[in-house]
Amino acid sequence: MDFKKLFRGPFIYILSAIIVVWIGSSLLMQSGFKQVTTQQGLEFISSDKVASAKIVDGEQRVDLTLTEADDEFGDKVQFYYVAPRGTEIVAAVNDANLESFDDEVPQTSLLTSLLFTLLPFLIIGVIFYFLLTRMQGGGGRVMQFGKSKAKLVGKESPTVTFADVAGADEAVDELREIKEFLQEPAKFQAVGARIPKGVLLYGPPGTGKTLLARATAGEAGVPFYTISGSDFVEMFVGVGASRVRDLFDQAKQNSPAIVFIDEIDAVGRHRGAGIGGGNDEREQTLNQLLVEMDGFDANVNVILIAATNRPDVLDPALLRPGRFDRQIGVDAPDLQGRTQILTVHAKGKPMAAGVDLAVLARKTPGFTGADLANVLNEAALLTARSNAQLIDNRALDEAVDRVMAGPQRRTRLMNDKEKLITAYHEGGHALAAAAMRNTDPVTKVTILPRGRALGYTMVLPLEDKYSITRNELLDQLAYAMGGRVAEEIVFHDPTTGASNDIEKATRIARKMVTEYGMSAKVGSVKLGSAGGEPFLGRDMGHTQDYSDELAKVIDQEVRALIEQAHDEAWHVLNENRDILDTLASTLLEKETLDHNELAALFEPVRKLPERPQWLSSEGRPVSQLPPVPVPTKAPIDPSIADGGVESDTPPQAPRSPLGDYLPGVAPA
């Protein structure tokens, strides 16, 4: 039993109050009279042993003072009677030979009346006090609603420095400059430079924005206040604005200082958004934050660092220069950044001699820092589960698969027909991808269920890509439809396994038409909003910014792209039907094929002919002048890119710029 927690709770106070009330009542009841029965009291009165009597009305009590002390009860006794016996008691007292008697009618004193009047309010006040104490964290914080909840990161706290941050070199350089601003402000003021008031870190989840702020705190050597955006918002009106004022007052008193607000979108959303306007309390908090940032004196060295995953929903007044002068994007790391991140997270983990983190970084394009940390952690867990001592390549490959597609579903047993359909489905994806001229190499095909997929095909780029061509998108559409086409060709009866493929292909085709300007009929026009109001389910409050006639053209163009991809996949699968049958039978036998086995199977593949040149308009013919030559680079060995690891779990597919697309993933 946790006695400290018990003593901190309300039970000890309740028990103490009960004891005090019991002792007080006992003392009050000790008036010197011994209680006897009604019969004994009447016998005392009738035997002339009573010197004086007092009848107390309301309480039906008679107090007797005896002429001589009784051996058992003493000289003072009292008894009680019921109301119907009152006449008998009065008659007995009148008939007795008493020196004196008296009648007492109890009168409520002013103090008692006041006590009973105020007691309900006192009880309500105690309850309110207790609730506020619990809400505010107990102790002496009751009634301090407007006090800031920011934590001061001191030197004794566990420190993180820029040396612990990898894969975000640009952000580190910008924050290192912030550190210099605080340590040597005169250096910048001498040339007329103004110290930035705010730094906004934005980017996808898991890219290390909070870690960068912690590293800045460890490097700065100045007071560092950290708070979450949600801590400003309370159930009481005006608390958020008061906490903002208190926070910046503390920072100004201890300047130079850094204030870090994590998830600032909780309080910094666009004002007036949604039906009926926004939340007034949240908007008041935001207004106070804007005022405080504008109110910085030129000589007050206080810098605000904020982090968010949603810069698109922030109020424009918050983002303007003069408030957030620096806006630093923290994106997913590149190949070199991933290698550095893996090196940082591999510290303290026993790695096998054959493990190359650079190879693992090539297998994980699009992974964030959190993803990479999770990969190494999953590999360590798998190693411990198998009672091994070193983390090897096989564990790392399985960890990549688990992070990307989920754990393997060994309990999901398919019958032979479903297994055959899945083999042809995934084989259709892989063969269509291999027969295209602008796709990355196929690195893995499996029919083992994992996550919500009955099987999947993996395509791994040899290097990081930051843009994608129209032909590459068309190839993605073609091999996305390869699974459905294989089912139509072989079984003449398609299944529901292609639903996810159709969804992803439709999404790519619609983006090609409405966002990328890759349709001659629609033209290079951005159609549709990137995001609607955040309080209206984003797209629910979106107004269509194009005509119904153009919407019909868009649907026709999307349908044409899907049909073209369908035809191309049909063509290449029929041209290579022998390879498709061989691939399906091999999958049924081995269940998983790696890049080496796939390369041997796809060596005789007859590729799709080159597509005709696409023109955005007939009036804009293609120029015949070639681009300037580019210095040649050393070719990348595919075996090195894939790690050259002989394993049952080859590397996972990359995350494309269009989202997490896994060709051939069949929903459960």
The whole-angstrom separation of Cα 107 and Cα 622 is: 111
Average pLDDT, the chain: 79
Helix pair angle (393-405, 369-385), 10° resolution: 120
The whole-angstrom separation of Cα 313 and Cα 290 is: 16
Q: Who has greater pLDDT, 28 or 498?
A: 498
Q: Which of 513, 455, 495 is nearest to 663 (CA)?
A: 455
Please tell me the predicted confidence (pLDDT) of residue 473.
Answer: 94
Structure tokens at 43: 């016998």
Structure tokens at 21: 């009330």
The whole-angstrom separation of Cα 530 and Cα 570 is: 34
Q: Which of 474, 459, 434 is nearest to 600 (CA)?
A: 434
The whole-angstrom separation of Cα 443 and Cα 404 is: 15
Please tell me the predicted confidence (pLDDT) of residue 131.
Answer: 67
The whole-angstrom separation of Cα 472 and Cα 480 is: 12
Q: Which of 664, 668, 665 is nearest to 432 (CA)?
A: 664
Cβ-contact 282, 244 below 8 angstroms: no
| pLDDT tens per residue, range 157-206 | 557 788 888 888 888 888 888 888 877 878 888 888 877 888 899 988 88
Tell whether the model's pLDDT for residue 503 goes beyond 70: yes
CA dihedral 422, 428, 433, 435 (to 10 degrees): 150
Residue 215, classified by CB atoms within 10 Å of its CB into exposed (0-12), middle (13-18) or buried (19+), is buried
Please tell me the predicted confidence (pLDDT) of residue 529.
Answer: 65
Q: Who has greater pLDDT, 111 or 60?
A: 60
Tell whether the model's pLDDT for residue 580 goes beyond 60: yes
Please tell me the predicted confidence (pLDDT) of residue 660.
Answer: 41
Distances (CA, A) of 483 to 437, 478, 566, 609, 653: 18, 10, 10, 20, 17
Tell whether the model's pLDDT for residue 248 goes beyond 70: yes
Cβ-contact 90, 106 below 8 angstroms: no
| pLDDT tens per residue, range 587-629 | 999 888 888 889 899 999 998 888 888 888 888 887 888 888 8
Residue 549 bears catalytic tag: no
Structure tokens at 10: 């309300």
Rg of the chain on CA atoms, in Å = 41
Please tell me the predicted confidence (pLDDT) of residue 138.
Answer: 42
3-state secondary structure of 406: coil
The whole-angstrom separation of Cα 128 and Cα 143 is: 11
The proportion of the chain whose per-residue pLDDT surpasses 90, expressed as a percent, equals 19
Per-residue DSSP letters for 44-61? HHHTT-EEEEEEETTTTE
Average pLDDT over residues 316-337: 87
CA dihedral 23, 26, 27, 31 (to 10 degrees): 180
| pLDDT tens per residue, range 630-666 | 887 655 554 444 443 343 444 444 443 334 444 444 3
Of the candidate ranges 78-92, 96-110, 170-184, 534-548, the one whose mean pLDDT is the lowest: 534-548
What is the band of 140 on the pLDDT scale with cuts at 50, 70, 90?
Answer: very low
Q: Which of 571, 369, 392, 361 is nearest to 485 (CA)?
A: 571
The whole-angstrom separation of Cα 173 and Cα 187 is: 18
Per-residue H/E/C for 243-294: HHHHHHHHHHHCCCEEEEEECHHHCCECCCCCCCCCCHHHHHHHHHHHHHHH
| pLDDT tens per residue, range 340-391 | 999 988 988 999 888 889 888 888 888 888 899 999 999 999 999 988 889 9
| pLDDT tens per residue, range 282-297 | 788 888 888 888 765 6
Of the candidate ranges 205-214, 219-228, 470-479, 638-647, the one whose mean pLDDT is the lowest: 638-647
Tell whether the model's pLDDT for residue 562 goes beyond 90: yes
∠ CA 396-397-399, nearest 5°, is 60
Q: Which of 426, 425, 420, 461 is nearest to 441 (CA)?
A: 461
- Per annotation, catalytic residue among 426, 488, 533, 557: 426
Query: Which residue stretches of 269-414 are H helix?
Result: 280-294, 316-319, 335-345, 357-363, 369-385, 393-405
The whole-angstrom separation of Cα 195 and Cα 35 is: 87
Please tell me the predicted confidence (pLDDT) of residue 571.
Answer: 94
Tell whether the model's pLDDT for residue 523 goes beyond 50: yes
Structure tokens at 203: 């980017």
| Sign of the alpha-carbon torsion through 411, 417, 421, 424 | positive
What is the band of 85 on the pLDDT scale with cuts at 50, 70, 90?
Answer: confident
Tell whether the model's pLDDT for residue 427 goes beyond 60: yes
H-helix or E-strand spanning residue 327: strand 326-329
pTM: 0.67
Average pLDDT over residues 37-51: 85
